[in-house]
Structure 1
């Protein structure tokens, strides 16, 4: 973790995450001879967050945060229906509810007891799924009922078009505290973090009792209005 404040109006933060992938990826003798040992002990370093804060930007009560950041809205512990700007990271299901950082711009205007947030994400980032060796345990394998067995299965995911006007997301939130109750109202325009099936093609082969299946998935565009409250 790297953090510092060169001046009263500037703060920076960066955090690296060390990741291991559990199972060795060995398929030949050459995998055992690699100097990097990445097939025996699969791991990587990931930049979790890296952003800069600018305090009092243009106005005394206006702050900016620029860079890769986790934007978490809502008051629930794990799943927040109103928190859509940062996608979920399901790579480690023991850390369920973890979020991925996204490259974004966040402006926060605070006038006690009110706070106003405006966020812009120029490029949509999808949520990650568990590795294949864990996904089958969690979600079950792919199969058909009846006499047919799947011979070949493939899927195609269609991402939003690579244009800022098409792939960008935005959100806004107003929050306050009234009589020890935290209240917020938010709006999000963007995409669902997980792909949904649009259609499926099935080509049966009656002679062998098998079928080829091909699915097409996409990320639907959504508008979400949310409200949260918590207190004691």
Structure 2
């Protein structure tokens, strides 16, 4: 019999993959209409701190849409700037990392890879599964039915056909030249918990101790480039 922890992880991974496949089909169908917008799924890229895995990318004249998929049920509570969001199933509460912040790293990776203007890249989080938002969500966080309408709501053309083609080729080349297994990606995630790099500037992060306020005495990761870069990260 498999250990309970293994079964839980296996179930979570299966649900995540199922949700990503569901959104991939929806984006592929949408991308085949009109100008045939290029779409990419499950893209792993090399980053300064190892690797990052992007669920979906869609490129259109109206921008580059970088999409994070969450397959969850129950009630979802969260805010744009909250580090942790909450999933409630009956009386059980589970914390998970703010998916907007999670996807921000993916957005920055695409921005750097393509050399694109940040104003042309859109950070979108889509929830699938039987979940309900119990707090007002930012406009870029939607359920499955709201994904395509959100993409269509961008009506100002910012990319021409040549740029779309060039970006598509760059991503295809990055995918073909980046042979990274999921095991390697997971290993990089674990390694980054112990020796993280700043997601904004790429400098090494160092352990610091809060001296004031409610968190006095607790340790956290702070960018070694402080005070030029003031990024901090909660110690796992």
Greater share of helix residues, 1 or 2? Answer: 2
Structure of higher RCO (CA pairs closer than 8 Å, 6+ residues apart): 2
Bucket of the pairwise TM-score, normalised by the shorter protein = under 0.3
Structure 1 length as normaliser, TM-score?
A: 0.25
Greater share of strand residues, 1 or 2? Answer: 1
Structure 2 length as normaliser, TM-score?
A: 0.25
Rg larger for: 1
